[in-house]
Amino acid sequence: MSILVVAEHDNSKLNQVTLHVIAAAKEMGGDVDVLVAGKDCGAVAEAASKADGVAKVRCADADCYGHQLAENMALLIAELGKDYKHVLGAHSTSGKNFMPRVAALLDVAMISDIIAVESEDTFKRPIYAGNAIATVQSTDGIKVVTVRHTAFDAVAAEGGSASVEAVDAAHDAEISEFVDEELVKLDRPELSAAKVVVSGGRGMGSGENFKILDGIADKLGAAMGASRAAVDAGYVPNDMQVGQTGKIVAPELYIAIGISGAIQHLAGMKDSKVIVAINKDEDAPIFQVADYGLVADLFKAVPELEEKLNEVL
Amino acid sequence: MKVLVAVKRVIDYNVKVRVKSDQSDVDLNNVKMAVNPFCEIAIEEAVRMKEAGTAEEVVAVSIGPKVCQEQLRTALALGADRAILVETDDELQPLTIAKLLKAVYEKEEPGLVILGKQSIDADNNQTGQMFAALAGLPQGTGASKVSIDGDKVTVTREVDGGLQTVALKAPAVVTTDLRLNEPRYASLPNIMKAKKKQLDVMSPSDLGVEVKQTFKTLKVEPPPERKGGIKVETVDELVDKLKNEAKVI
Ligand SMILES: Cc1cc2nc3c(=O)[nH]c(=O)nc-3n(C[C@H](O)[C@H](O)[C@H](O)COP(=O)(O)OP(=O)(O)OC[C@H]3O[C@@H](n4cnc5c(N)ncnc54)[C@H](O)[C@@H]3O)c2cc1C
Ligand SMILES: Nc1ncnc2c1ncn2[C@@H]1O[C@H](COP(=O)(O)O)[C@@H](O)[C@H]1O
């Protein structure tokens, strides 16, 4: 029996996280099918069919999936999922939205946010904000799982040649409706995919002050992140929050500026390869996880850092 | 409308847990317990609805051992009208909790059910969605704004790309995100009054639900330690290390 991976996309582009979820699926053993559900999402199905290791792409193209409403998505995925041994999605806000509904409709448990595959029924996942790692074994016939994409290397985006098959099933639960969305325009790499992340905390003092991070972020080609305190204070939008209850990142380089390092923040970034912290408090807990800590006033250190980077890069 | 709020007892968010040496679980002995922070936000939202006249009654429900009464008393002190404990000492997994919530929902018939988006111990982010699916209800997860107009519930959700707004047909399920509101503290007089509010206790079998486990926790380990780093004295030294030692720039 095979594995169904639910693709993450915006109807025009396949989100990279899907390539990481496919990688996790391959470790579970079996053919990997990808479901693309959306509206006018043919290009996404096409892209998914080229991903390495995909056996078949199933494309459900209908109005009711246009905004990936959980009520409709879950009906579709649960119907198709009955014939698979694993149903996988990303542990993103959309995966978190519909995958538990899928599990409930299939009357099985869901295993959230896995970081390792031990065998086809046993997985590792962080609990308590990453302060413990649990190994869990599922006894359900169908395993419904969401994957922490940073824990699995992406499969190649090109090289495969899976067939694309249309799925003719428009499930509209008619209990919810999309109203609108305010998507933040990104002129930087996406947080969850960036190689370098520059994050600011409450120490930044204001939204205006966040601009002083632009120079280093530009120079390093970095995505911009933030602590919860910076988001709550309205300095920056919610989609920038890194942490236990925000986004999980694991870039090559994470630079935390004016962030104290609460466990909830560390949960979202402590798997980064190299961590730099700039904080004026030498006892700030962030220094316990930082490879390189600089005790300094950020308003002095950040411009200096920008200048220095301009010199050497 | 009546609002049902699901409240979970969890470790206090300030506590850094330790794994037991036999790797069976984390050590919860003598650890401070509290209402899950997202559930506090859920209670606050329901109480504000009552204060605004949109909700007539706020009922808090918790599922777990007898000690969960403490968290229900907190909910009552924060303004819930009455509480229900579904008492069991068995291990609870989200699907079972969702089934128990569905049974309570069918008894109470609320117009809105508010849960936290995530419990900070197991970090599941599942229960509200599972319950909504079982009850056939629409959901607004990770809510940063909720407004009610007749049987239309409009929810703004915090999503990866920004914000999304959906309209749900009541009865509906909402799960809270951090920015929905800032919960109040319980005042001493309200803590005293809460002791006299109604708290009903029932068992899973009273509700006709079997407590089942379909996954097992084989072991719980500490995460890999990060090796301690160094402090650099100057920005020059920092840049030099990043370039020549770590080779990340
Ligand atoms: C349920 C729950 C979920 C949470 N989820 C998250 C989450 O996902 N992500 C998250 O980040 N947090 C989360 N938190 C919040 C977390 O507990 C902390 O409150 C938060 O991370 C603190 O943010 P901060 O470090 O920016 O602010 P603070 O802790 O206030 O730290 C500010 C730091 O800036 C430094 N500073 C100030 N001025 C300067 C200066 N001029 N130069 C240099 N340094 C300076 C200070 O020394 C201090 O260390 C959550 C909390 C709860 C209860
Ligand atoms: N044992 C429980 N009793 C009451 N509510 C619960 C329980 N477990 C989970 N919930 C609710 O479901 C939310 C999400 O929990 P979880 O799915 O475990 O992350 C919590 O914030 C609670 O509102």
ipTM of model? 0.97
How confident is the model at residue B139, as a pLDDT?
98
B132 within ligand 2 shell (Cβ under 6 A): no
Distance between CA atoms of residues B203 and B211, nearest Å: 10
Structure tokens at B52: 């605004």
DSSP state of A295: E
Give pLDDT tens digits for B197-241: 999 999 999 999 999 999 999 999 999 988 889 999 999 999 999
Query: Which helix or strand (DSSP H or E) is residue B127 part of?
Result: helix B127-135
A105 contacts in B (CB within 8 Å)?
A: 133
Bridge partners of A14, per DSSP, are: A9
The 3-state DSSP class for residue A111 equals strand
Distance between CA atoms of residues A31 and A48, nearest Å: 14
- What pLDDT band is residue A259 in, cutting at 50, 70 and 90? very high
Q: Which of A161, A195, A149, A164 is nearest to A19 (CA)?
A: A149
Structure tokens at B158: 């915090």
A140 contacts in B (CB within 8 Å)?
A: 214-215
Structure tokens at B220: 């719980």
Q: Which of A131, A177, A301 sits opposite B167 (nearest CB)?
A: A177
Distance between CA atoms of residues B200 and B203, nearest Å: 10
B181 within ligand 2 shell (Cβ under 6 A): no
* Strand positions, DSSP E, B75-133: 82-87, 112-116
Distance between CA atoms of residues A154 and A116, nearest Å: 14
Give contacts of A 168-227 with B, CB under 8 A.
173, 175-184, 192, 196, 220
Closest residue in B to A253 (Cα) is: B248
B239 contacts in A (CB within 8 Å)?
A: 305, 308-309, 312
B169 contacts in A (CB within 8 Å)?
A: 175-176
B130 contacts in A (CB within 8 Å)?
A: 100-101, 103-104, 110
pTM for this structure?
Answer: 0.98
Distance B7 CA to ligand 1 centre (A): 26
How confident is the model at residue A24, as a pLDDT?
98
Q: Is the pLDDT of residue A216 over 90?
A: yes
Q: Which of A34, A285, A298, A193 is nearest to B235 (CA)?
A: A298
Only one residue has tokens 């401070």, namely: B32
Q: Is the pLDDT of residue A186 over 90?
A: no
- Give one DSSP letter per residue of B186-236, joined into a string: PPHHHHHHHTTS-EEEE-TTTTT------EEEEEEEPPPPPPP-EEESSHH
Q: Is the pLDDT of residue A1 over 90?
A: no
A298 within ligand 1 shell (Cβ under 6 A): yes
Could you list the mean pLDDT of each consecutive 10-residue stretch along chain B, which spans 249 residues?
98 94 95 98 98 98 98 98 98 98 98 98 98 98 97 97 97 98 98 98 98 98 91 98 97
| Cβ atoms B115, B176 nearer than 8 A | yes
Distance B127 CA to ligand 2 centre (A): 6
Do A292 and B246 make contact, defined as CB atoms within 8 angstroms?
yes
How confident is the model at residue B227, as a pLDDT?
85
Q: Average the pLDDT over A35-42 and give the result.
A: 98
Distance A46 CA to ligand 1 centre (A): 42
| Cβ atoms B3, B59 nearer than 8 A | yes
Q: What size, in residues, is chain A?
A: 313
User: Measured between CB atoms, does A283 come within 8 Å of chain B?
Assistant: no
Structure tokens at A152: 């699995």
- Which of A235, A240, A279 to probe ligand 1 with, by most ligand atoms within 8 A of CB? A279
Burial environment of residue A43 by CB neighbours within 10 A (0 to 12, 13 to 18, 19 or more): middle
Give pLDDT tens digits for A116-175: 999 999 999 999 999 999 999 999 999 999 999 999 999 999 999 999 999 999 999 999
Counting ligands in written order, the one closest to the CA of B75 is: 2
B116 within ligand 1 shell (Cβ under 6 A): no
Distance A237 CA to ligand 1 centre (A): 15
Q: Average the pLDDT over A83-87 and give the result.
A: 98
